[in-house]
A and B are shown apart, each in its own frame.
Chain A
Amino acid sequence: MKHQLTISVKNQGIAVERFLRVARHRGFRLTQLEMEGHDELFHVKMTVDSDKPIYLLTSQLSKLVEVHTVDLHSLQQQAI
């Protein structure tokens, strides 16, 4: 199932590597990625695909020190 997340992270290159690593390792395939840097924050829009429940990813991403917010948007809801 596909899920879209918006994540704001500290504007550091390593922060992006860190959350992409978590997504891969926890079994979520990246299908789309957009990033924009504003002042001290990166805003990332990311679509991932997995059979696993999405909270297994959001709970891990939320723990990362550089991550400020993780918001989940259900793609199916958006289609409706």
Chain B
Amino acid sequence: MTGAQLLIDLLAKHGVQEVFGYPGGAIMPIYDALYGAPVKHYLTRHEQGAGFAAVGYARSTGKLGVCFATSGPGATNLITALADAMMDSVPLLAITGQVPTAAIGSDAFQEIDVLGMSLSCTKHSYMVERAEDLAEVLQEAMHLAMSGRPGPVLVDIPKDIQLASAPFQPWLAMEEKLPELLNSEVQKAELLLSEAKRPIAYVGGGVQSAGAQAELMQFLNKTQMPAVSTLKALGSVLPEYEYDLGMLGMHGGQAANIAVQECDLLVCIGARFDDRVTGNLAKFAAKAKVIHLDIDPAEVGKRKPVAASLIADLKTSIPALGCFVTDEAWLRTIIQLKQQHAWRYDYPGEKVFAPYLLKELSKKMPTDGVVCCDVGQHQMWVAQHMTFSHPSNHLSSGGAGTMGFGLPAAIGAQIARPQNMVVTVSGDGSIMMNIQELATIRRNNLPVKIVILDNQRLGMVRQWQQLFFEGRYSETNLSDNPDFVQLAAVFGIPGQTITHAGEVDSAIDALVNSTGPYIVHACIDDKENVWPLVPPGAANDEMMTEKAQ
């Protein structure tokens, strides 16, 4: 068996049925081994598309996402997806071809030090130096990507090793370094809970990584603790939970942000106090003591001191907390805050109002549908106005904030979950960053739905230029965009453009009722902003609102 055949064989043995990639010179033996193999390969039209499709596949299922690229530019094109997976803790295996061992270090054609490049954007990475190491490296790589706090792992395989005879070696599982819950910390946490008058659960992406939604909901239902979510956590707290306050942070709801600022105990569950969540860190939840639950010890105390640290798998640590019911007076305050700061959709103009459109889309989509986003204003509107019943139904590039994420991520999600509706919501800026993947949708007849909220601007940057750069609109005018419906039509994808509020409902109906791919190109006001907004350097309760503006 060659190294290339061994790779495909091991992927199949580990249950990997689908991979995404793009061939090239240094990975040709692997593509040869794929020919007729039980592992199905999806050709994207750019390696970044393959990387994000694998991320979408992983995030929508919790399974390992796998992508292939050749050496040099093939590998560099994967780097953004690896960085994205690193920031959002996504289990990803990237296989790159490398020039033959003898040519490494000679500046050979398409030779780049991929291992060196991978250091800052992977959980771990390898370059295979001997064919006899290949089996062990690959099995360890798959294990590492999925274990503990998940993340991307890269294996760079020189061409001669792909061609060499490579024996299968059963891998002796490496020693797990997973932390165990300390009873002393659980006791500290219990004491803090018993003393708290105004607790808040601050829920992060760790809940999805741990597969701990059931444990979370059990905890919330038992304690009635009000909950706020990070962008990545949306869907973890079920929408029917009475004390769910939605997203907190820079574009979070006012009720969520005010409640956190007022709380006296913050129970952080798999989150990491990201700057987009905290605003001014010194003023964030300043009255609160913190209990931090996380599997990664490096996240605990990294940005905010903690009073109790429950470092373990969330499936173990969440159930360890109990025997506590939230104070009635605090719950009344929470309900009042929710009512006082509910989202409003009574938009006065005749133009399409993006929040209303997204609310309607959310209502009309099946609850097990998947929504993928790009990055910018539309992404924040999705987070604010759509509801999700599981975090694997909302794929949004959180930590890295990568424009161009949405379309390829939707492809990966649709392949992983063929029975579910997959919609990508994008902006006119973001969609152009991986627009070539319309060809992948067509090639595979994927019924991916596309909504483009088009303000002919790089909307979020434009908003900041308006608010914080004296209206100097530097390089944010995209009024020379192509006609997106015509563009999609070239790839055989039907759709429609809407420009008025009255067209929204029928367009959403057409989108959700279409059996194949479909595009709704919604022209929105170029001056529409995302509200509320926590300005840079401000505390989360110093939000700017439309009214104040």
Q: Which residues of A does B touch, CB under 8 Å?
A: 14, 17-18, 21, 25, 55-56, 59-60, 62-65
Contacts and interface: CB of A to CB of B under 8 A. Distances in A.
Contacts of B144: 65
Contacts of B120: 21, 25
Given A14-B115, A64-B124, 17 more contacts: A14-B119, A14-B125, A17-B116, A17-B119, A18-B119, A21-B120, A25-B120, A55-B301, A56-B302, A59-B297, A59-B302, A60-B298, A62-B297, A62-B298, A63-B298, A65-B124, A65-B144
Contacts of B298: 59-60, 62-63
Contacts of A63: 296, 298
Q: Which of B120, B144, B297, B298 counts the most A-chain CB atoms under 10 A from its CB?
A: B298
23 contacts: A14-B115, A14-B119, A14-B125, A14-B127, A17-B116, A17-B119, A18-B119, A21-B119, A21-B120, A25-B120, A55-B301, A56-B302, A59-B298, A59-B302, A60-B298, A62-B297, A62-B298, A63-B296, A63-B298, A64-B124, A65-B123, A65-B124, A65-B144
A63 B147 CA distance: 12
Interface string B139-153: 000001000000000
Nearest to B302: A56
Contacts of B119: 14, 17-18, 21
Interface SS of chain B: mixed
A56 B303 CA distance: 10
Nearest to B303: A56
B contact residues, range = 10 to 19
Contacts of B297: 59, 62
A12 B119 CA distance: 14
A21 B301 CA distance: 21
B273 to A, nearest CB: 13
Contacts of A62: 297-298
Interface SS of chain A: helix
Nearest to A20: B119
B297 to A, nearest CB: 6
Contacts of A65: 123-124, 144
Nearest to B300: A59
A17 to B, nearest CB: 6
A62 B298 CA distance: 9
B147 to A, nearest CB: 10
Interface in B85-130: 115-116, 119-120, 123-125, 127
A51 to B, nearest CB: 15
Contacts of B296: 63
A59 B116 CA distance: 22
Nearest to A14: B115
Contacts of A21: 119-120
Nearest to A17: B119
A64 B298 CA distance: 11
Contacts of A55: 301
A75 B121 CA distance: 32
Contacts of A56: 302
Interface string B284-302: 0000000000001110011
Interface string B263-306: 00000000000000000000000000000000011100110000
A55 B297 CA distance: 10
A44 B548 CA distance: 57
Nearest to B297: A59
A60 B149 CA distance: 13
Contacts of B123: 65
Contacts of B127: 14
A59 B297 CA distance: 7
A18 B124 CA distance: 9
A26 to B, nearest CB: 10
A56 B123 CA distance: 17
A56 B301 CA distance: 8
A71 to B, nearest CB: 16
Nearest to B124: A65
B217 to A, nearest CB: 30
Interface in B230-283: none
A14 B125 CA distance: 9
Contacts of A60: 298
A35 to B, nearest CB: 18
Nearest to A65: B124
A56 B124 CA distance: 19
Q: Considering the complex of A and B, which 3 residue pairs feature the smallest CB-CB distances, nearest first?
A: A59-B298, A65-B124, A21-B119
A25 B127 CA distance: 23
Interface in B133-182: 144
Nearest to A56: B302
Contacts of A18: 119
A75 B125 CA distance: 33
A65 B147 CA distance: 12
A53 to B, nearest CB: 8
A60 B120 CA distance: 12
Contacts of B302: 56, 59
A56 B302 CA distance: 6
